[in-house]
A = this chain, B = another copy of it.
Amino acid sequence: MELVTGEFRNTLDDKGRLSLPAKLRAGLPENVLVVTQGMDSCLWLFTPERWNALSEQLFATTSLFHQQARIIQRRIIAPAQEVEIDKAGRIAIPQSLREYAGLSKDCVVLGITKRLEIWDAEAYRAWIDATEAEFAAASEALDIQNL
């Protein structure tokens, strides 16, 4: 039921298909996912159930006549598409999302318990490097006890 974790490197083929690592697939309740634009030029993948919960929350607090609402709607909700996991364990990533994330051949797939992320491998490495200092600061600010 819960999505699993792990960092994997897989390759996007010429037809825009990407294998989801078997270890991550094992944690999925069904063979359908919703993929959309995430933050930091990566793609987010949710189970349909989780996506519905998220998009309803986003709509519940917004009106099409408010600028901020339209920004959220167009950047988060509009790009979302359902994708089916084929018999070989792959998903076909829609072209607009491939472009957004700048996916070339080498991709990184992350399992983050409640969602998956897909990155261009090079972009991921760059992002990790770029946020090195911020990571140090953010972790200092955490207040996690008993661990």
Contact = CB atoms under 8 A, between A and B. Distances in A.
Interface string A68-94: 101111111111111000000000001
Q: How often does this chain occur in the complex, in copies? A: 2
Range of interface residues on A (Cβ < 8 Å): 35 or more
A128 interface: yes
A122 interface: no
B7 A113 contact: no
Contacts of A9: 95-96
Tell me the dominant secondary structure on chain A's binding face: mixed
A97 B8 CA distance: 10
Contact of A3 (B68, B82, B117, B139): B82
A81 B114 contact: no
A34 B5 CA distance: 10
A31 to B, nearest CB: 16
17 contacts: A5-B77, A5-B78, A5-B80, A6-B78, A6-B79, A6-B81, A9-B96, A39-B64, A39-B67, A46-B147, A55-B113, A64-B115, A72-B139, A74-B112, A74-B128, A75-B128, A114-B147
